[in-house]
Structure 1
Amino acid sequence: MEGKKKWALITGVSQGGLGDALTTELLARNINVIATNIRMEDMKYLSTTSSTSQDARLEKLQLDVTDSKSIATARDATRELTGGKLNYLFNNAGYGYMMPLLDCSIEGMRKNFDVNVFGLLAVTQALFPLLREAGGIVVNQSSIAALSATYQPFIGSYQASKSALSSLSNNMRVEFAPFGVKVVTLETGDVRTGFWTFASANSATLPPDSLYHPIKDVAEKTMRGQGNPPGQHTRERWAKAVVGDILQSRPPSHVRRGYLATTLYLVSLLMPFWILDWLYTRACGLDRLREHDRQHPSTEKKGK
């Protein structure tokens, strides 16, 4: 056990992801890290003997944020490793299922919420006694996708889960304050990771009977993240800035890092919805779809 050194636990650590970058940055700042993933093989690249700091420790644990037994096992192991005090919990694990809402598999959409919302809360509940002992910080990985200005068509199921996450995080911040535990919400912008490759494996192809087939090219490009603007930040740059924000004596309630994060936050505050509707309609080909629907009327209406 180590009672004096600070400890951080990160969920969803995999090579090339944001959790990976956070692990490297925290170790560099002499903070012990417990890296977790649902599959231990996804963390084979992490060596417990190759920390970037000679003093910081790196431990690896299996953790499925949607499984209560896995959470309990990870909690007990974390208590043993840290001496009963956890300084930082990075709720980083995430899932991305993208599909037009009319075509959404309820099972796929539920997986978004199981990982991004319910799993996050379950892990936080389990580790809260350790966070309370340390006067720790919960860091919740949300996204600019949760902002009111970023309701981009065809990825609504994912955005809805991130909006729920952000709302939950705000409630946590107020409810946890009496116990000396802080909560920070990360509203992360575009960062170069493998997220969209993973998300594309879960969705990214319209079903054969989709009403959106006339604009299939635009819809699937959006679902794969291929329409994102160039200029994404590197994950190393993002992690360095985020960890710097979190380690302040008075960390902010919301951290906006990554490409366009602050810009889109300001757009959410200032841009009327009718303008955003107009922009998204044209950017995602929905104006073309409207015209196609007029020219090819059908008596059949799709519903689920």
Structure 2
Amino acid sequence: MIKAAVVGLGWWGKTIVRQLASSRTIKLVRTVDVDPNAAEWARERKLAVSTCYADALTDPTVDAVILCTPHAQHCDQVLQAVAAGKHIFCEKPLTLTQRDAVTCVEACQRAGLVLGIGHERRFEPPILELRRLFDSGELGTPLQIEANFSQDKFLSLPADNWRLSAENAPAGPMTATGIHLIDLAVSILGPPRRAVAHVGQLGSQLSNGDTLGALVGFANGSNALISAMLATPFVGRFALYCNRGWVEVVDKAHPEASEGWTLTKCLRGSKAERREYPPAAAVLANLDAFGDAVAGRMPYPVTPAELVGTIAALEAIVTSARNGGTVESVPA
């Protein structure tokens, strides 16, 4: 097993720590957080903890760092890890600009280090089946994706929480939930080329926005329609439409406490078929895929081009939401 340090013990960092207890590829050997309350949480679980990121980077027993930190810190932290020779698993989004994403990806490639990303929705069984159906050619040519990932979990956060700041979470719901949908779209449709988006504050006190709608255009001519809200109860849906059929995946509950999914497939000339999926540990599957890649057993399934493409779309959406109009995404 590889040995890792979790950096950042907030809500999601603690979730990662719990998931790692069942990992077949990663052993947690250290945690890092500047918050004394988080440090106490770690000590109660007999986890080594410090307040300094450098402690993890200089620890010779640490093979990899798992970054669960504010988004604006990711690029610098990735580059520090590269300089220390550590593999990196970074929570989404990787960075907030395409330039920073390219910098991180290229630095890891030059150093021969694995760069993993917290896009666990790729590892959900019905999404894997959707991808299998698409790759087989059964669905035909991709036309459009429609996707919605909305929730109201952030309504109870204090106003000064970093997840609600314009610096770390531009375009409201985009970095919280919408980014997962963009990642899935990029993995299927390829490089994004343009985006138009609108963000509003309509149903909450979330100052950076609670309602996002975006249209992303891809190099192959297809589109992705993205909906993400932070002021309505959870709903999760991902649908791929092609010229010979379509597939829709619907979540039964928030992925944090999954109750499974329903996948519906409809091919031209046939009735729609429905299949139920039980809950599955997608976060753990992603972490173990990262561990396998670090150990050299198999490549990490999110490619460098996809890492950069997702952030290119994110930056175009943020820019469009801020300035209006359609924003072109420069090919990496």
TM-score (norm 1): 0.47
| Higher strand content, 1 or 2 | 2
TM-score (norm 2): 0.44
| Higher helix content, 1 or 2 | 1
